[in-house]
Amino acid sequence: MAKKTVVFKCKAPEARRVNVCGSFNNWNPAGIEAKKDPRGNWSVSVSLNPGRYEYKFVIDGAWRNDPNARESVPNNIGSANDVLVVK
């Protein structure tokens, strides 16, 4: 199956750096850096194969959940990961 482009977005007007990481990049917190627009919205496009992925944002070094995620699952460190399904 063909890869799909997925756009990750978050609002963090005060942030200096926002990354997205997850099962699609071996949870590398510096792997995929988002860009900030003038209104403080961050976004990045990622090409992913169809499947189910877990992810989080890393905002100025702090791991954060996506408030727009439709689903989350507990992780092995006592918090939760967001879930993305690419069809």
pLDDT in tens, 18-50: 999 999 999 999 989 999 999 999 999 999 999
Q: Which residues pair with 21 in a beta bridge?
A: 56
Number of domains in the chain: 1
Could you give the count of Cα atoms lying within 13 Å of 31 in the half-sphere of its Cβ? 15
Assessment of whether the complete model's pTM goes beyond 0.75: yes
Distance CA 37, CA 27 (A): 25
Full strand arrangement of the beta sheet holding 35-36: 4-11, 41-48, 35-36
CATH number of the domain residue 49 falls in: 2.60.40.10
